[in-house]
Chain A
Amino acid sequence: DAGVIQSPRHEVTEMGQEVTLRCKPISGHNSLFWYRQTMMRGLELLIYFNNNVPIDDSGMPEDRFSAKMPNASFSTLKIQPSEPRDSAVYFCASTAREGTGELFFGEGSRLTVL
């Protein structure tokens, strides 16, 4: 069974450009999370969806960040305009067992903004 699939794996872009990260959760999982990981701040929750509905977006840094989940098998995280401080690894995770801490992570999208 395929795990969580993220694309692109690596993205290098220039400041001011739009970045779109994509995620396909595990089939049957109804909860989806976007995390950001940096050396300085560790893993930070950006946004949480349940049954395709955004439940908690309090971790989204600012209006430059937006996320959508148009259906149960696809989600996007968009940064517009991108800034060098957005450089990080962005992870998508899904679970069918919300509230237990059992998350399945993708391999991440490594973003570098020059």
Chain B
Amino acid sequence: QKEVEQDPGPLSVPEGAIVSLNCTYSNSAFQYFMWYRQYSRKGPELLMYTYSSGNKEDGRFTAQVDKSSKYISLFIRDSQPSDSATYLCASCMDSNYQLIWGAGTKLIIKP
């Protein structure tokens, strides 16, 4: 079992829909939880990160961590075609450089 599990998709939704992307993890010592966005033929770009449990909101994006169920979520409201990309979740322990990556979910927003 991988330490961070993520459905590779693709996930295809119509423009304007609410998107829910999810990961599960197994290591209870993880404290940082990140979402990276990767456009085709580009490097990953940090979208949001959360320390420990709770929600974090940034514009149309909301990151949610539930440590009791070891579940990480990213919600995208009012999805746009420009949101089409691969979304990677990642986790790490506090003060540890080693990020554990999910496989990435390919998201397609249809105009």
Contacts and interface: CB of A to CB of B under 8 A. Distances in A.
Contact of A56 (B95, B97, B104): B97
B63 to A, nearest CB: 12
Interface centre among B34, B94, B98, B102 (most CB of A within 10 A): B98
Nearest to A100: B32
Nearest to B101: A43
Nearest to B49: A101
| Chain A, interface residues (CB within 8 Å), range | 20 to 34
Given A99-B94, A99-B95, A101-B49, A42 B43 contact: no
A98 B99 CA distance: 11
A101 B45 contact: no
Contacts of B97: 31, 33, 48, 50, 55-56, 98-99
Contacts of A57: none
Contact of B42 (A98, A99, A103, A107): A107
Interface string A71-94: 000000000000000000001010
Contact of B99 (A4, A55, A101): A101
Interface of A: 4, 31, 33, 42-43, 45, 48, 50, 55-56, 91, 93, 98-108, 110
Q: Which 6 interchain pairs have the tightest Cβ spacing?
A: A105-B43, A99-B95, A101-B32, A101-B34, A43-B101, A101-B92
28 contacts: A33-B97, A42-B101, A42-B102, A42-B104, A43-B44, A43-B101, A48-B98, A56-B97, A91-B44, A99-B32, A99-B92, A99-B96, A99-B97, A100-B32, A100-B92, A101-B32, A101-B46, A101-B90, A101-B91, A101-B92, A102-B34, A102-B49, A103-B46, A103-B99, A104-B46, A105-B43, A105-B44, A108-B42
Given A101-B49, A104-B46, A107-B41, 8 more contacts: A42-B103, A43-B44, A45-B98, A93-B43, A99-B92, A100-B51, A100-B92, A103-B44
